[in-house]
Amino acid sequence: MIKNDQHFMVDTELLTKISSLVKKRLIFEIGPGKGALTNLLLDKASNLVIVEKDLALIPVLNKRFLKEIEEGKLQVINENVLDLSLKKYADFEMISNLPYSISEPFFYKIIKEGIKKIILVTGKDFYENLLKEKKLGLYCSIFFNLKKHFEIRPSSFRPEPRVDSVCFTLERKESTIFSDIFSQTDKKLYNALLVSFSLNRTKNEARFLIDSLKIPEALLKKRISHLSNFQFLQIFSILKKKQFN
């Protein structure tokens, strides 16, 4: 049985290839497992923070990297990354081979928390969904430039996952009216539109603009995070047709 959906990368050549993608010296690694990639990242980092959910792996990491921890070069955090605030690490270059089962909630989390750049290894299906004209893919196109690096066979992991994987980078785009609106995931759609439209208009002008979009009232009352795939596409289409200035 695989605890916490864990598949440890064991291909040393591949680990080296992935570590070579990291360009900054402030590095934040999610899901280090037993520290195979961590060991390579330490050669690059002036400050490395790693987050591991599995309590059983913390003593392994603490023992392996005792010197770096004592020197203050490495910080080990035992927490579920979905419960951890990442905002203070927004300027770090992030890298993760996280459990594939949390790929989607983690993706929306990094949008909400303003993460600027992350190198990810995920299941191939999730990566391909980021390219589609559906909610997940449109979110990706709104917020990130996506760059695929290479595909990874299951044999590169122990135990082997059932699917092929992909290594790719997400780098945040400049803010737009779409990212202003859809980053407000906890707000009702009407309130998110009002906040975004009021950035360069009066409140009355913003309300008039919202009315002119003729979005069904039921959708305006829904939280952005609760919009279905179909509803999101409906809203996106309406907004795309409008010329903002």
- Look up residue 4 and give its two tokens: 């916490």
SS3 167: strand
- The pLDDT score that the predictor gives to residue 85 is 96
Average pLDDT over residues 64-91: 96
Tens of pLDDT along 101-138?
999 999 999 999 999 999 999 999 999 999 999 999 99
- Look up residue 119 and give its two tokens: 């190198």
Q: Quickly state the pLDDT bin for 243 (edges 50, 70, 90).
A: low
What residue ranges do the domains of the chain occupy? 3-173, 178-241
- The pLDDT score that the predictor gives to residue 3 is 52
CATH 3.40.50.150 fits 3-173, yes or no: yes
What is d(CA 228, CA 219) in angstroms, rounded to the nearest whole number?
A: 10
The answer to whether 122 touches 96, Cβ cutoff 8 Å, is no
Q: Is residue 6 over pLDDT 60?
A: yes
The answer to whether 231 touches 219, Cβ cutoff 8 Å, is yes
CA dihedral 216, 175, 167, 163 (to 10 degrees): -10
Tens of pLDDT along 41-68?
999 999 999 999 999 999 999 999 999 9
What is d(CA 140, CA 218) in angstroms, rounded to the nearest whole number?
A: 25
Q: Which residue has the tokens 């407000």?
A: 184
Tens of pLDDT along 232-242?
999 999 999 88
Please report, rounded to a whole number, the percentage of residues in the chain having pLDDT higher than 70: 97
